[in-house]
Amino acid sequence: MIKRVGVLTSGGDAPGMNAAIRAIVRAGIANGLKMYAIFEGFKGLVEDDIIEVDRSFVSEILMRGGTILRSARLPEFKDSAVQDIAVANLKKHGIDALVVIGGDGTYRGAGALSRKGINTIALPGTIDNDIASSDYTIGFDTCLNTITECVDKLRDTTSSHQRCSIIEVMGNHCGDLAIYSGTACGADLILSPEYLPSEKEIISKLRHIHLTRSRHALIIVSEKLLPNLEDFAKHIFEATGFETRVEILGRIQRGGSPSASDRVLAARMGVYAINALMNQKTSRCVGIRGMQVVDYDIDEALKMTKSNSSELIDVISTLK
């Protein structure tokens, strides 16, 4: 039976990570476990930045963005010798299980530790919604609301000046933030890895808007998709006459108080993770499918491909 459980957050922070930490710590204590906070992700494991925590450690954090455990990216954690240091530190504290919150890099780290004998459970915590084993990740909904608020504001000035605004959103090669926010904001064009109209279609649509319709346009584009957005804006101006501006929303998308939906998701997944450990599960990752919280083998999950935005792409095509 496991007795001591560590919790860490790794990779890009996401709103709702604190709500997940709270749920994990409180569910662990409710099950008679000793709970440990590990700071700065896998870096804290390697550097032994680990403390035992009580229930009050996670008081008043439910509504806070970011992560009280802080986060880091540690590419060196791929190295087996570095993982051995982490395992030795865990053993020093008598910690036999870990719950990690993060994206696919975090899942890989958790998988490696489980192969070295540590019971691990991973939770999807990233704004990108790029974890195929879960319909939604913790942080995605809040981020989507942040983008929607920003784009609604941009629409005011874009329409007042009869301009075209190109708005870059995050997503790290996953187009969900662009596709969902583009739908929520009624963007004229959405450019994402899964949905990329040809240059001819883009220009023809913008010419049509410039000449005949509202005379302003909003384009939402996924980060890392086009080589240079300023060049793209220049090209639009030359081809359509539309005065075009680029807005990169950047890391503001990762901040803010988590939405109610992210808090609930985090609470459900956190409690599920502790139940999974109590049921002797290891090397599992938690996800949501429909209304149901589920778990998968981490290695299997990392091989899955996302498919759930196709219906939305149909919606966008119909409404364009």
| By the rule CB under 6 A, 171 interacts with ligand F6P | yes
Q: Which is nearer to ligand F6P, 28 or 66 (CB)?
A: 66
The token pair that represents 288 in the structure block: 């949501």
Asked if residues 33 and 3 have their Cβ atoms less than 8 Å apart, the reply is: yes
- Rounded to whole angstroms, the Cα distance separating 206 from 83 reads 52
Residue nearest to ligand F6P (CB): 12
Q: Which is nearer to ligand F6P, 78 or 208 (CB)?
A: 78
**DSSP state for residue 156 in the 8-state scheme:** H
Stretch that binds ligand F6P, among 38-46, 114-122, 154-162, 169-177 (CB under 6 A): 169-177
| By the rule CB under 6 A, 125 interacts with ligand F6P | no
The token pair that represents 74 in the structure block: 């540690």
Q: Which is nearer to ligand F6P, 89 or 222 (CB)?
A: 222
- Looking from the CA of 312 toward its CB, the CA atoms found within 13 Å total 18
- Rounded to whole angstroms, the Cα distance separating 69 from 92 reads 20
Q: How far is the CB of 126 from ligand F6P (least distance, A)?
A: 5
Stretch that binds ligand F6P, among 28-36, 170-178, 205-213, 300-308 (CB under 6 A): 170-178
| By the rule CB under 6 A, 66 interacts with ligand F6P | no
Residue matched to tokens 């070295």: 116
| By the rule CB under 6 A, 70 interacts with ligand F6P | no
Near ligand F6P in 218-247, by CB under 6 A: 223
| By the rule CB under 6 A, 254 interacts with ligand F6P | yes
Stretch that binds ligand F6P, among 123-131, 208-216, 268-276, 303-311 (CB under 6 A): 123-131
| By the rule CB under 6 A, 12 interacts with ligand F6P | yes
The strand order across the sheet containing 189-191 reads 189-191, 217-222, 164-169, 244-248
Q: Single out the catalytic residue among 13, 96, 104, 128.
A: 128
Q: Which is nearer to ligand F6P, 6 or 11 (CB)?
A: 11
- Rounded to whole angstroms, the Cα distance separating 264 from 243 reads 43
The strand order across the sheet containing 119-124 reads 50-53, 34-38, 4-9, 97-102, 119-124, 284-289, 292-297
Asked if residues 230 and 248 have their Cβ atoms less than 8 Å apart, the reply is: no
Query: Can you tell me whether residue 196 is helix, strand or coil?
Result: coil
Q: Is 128 annotated in the active site?
A: yes
| By the rule CB under 6 A, 126 interacts with ligand F6P | yes
Q: Which residues are catalytic?
A: 128
Binding site for ligand F6P (CB under 6 A): 11-12, 103, 126-128, 170-172, 223, 251, 254
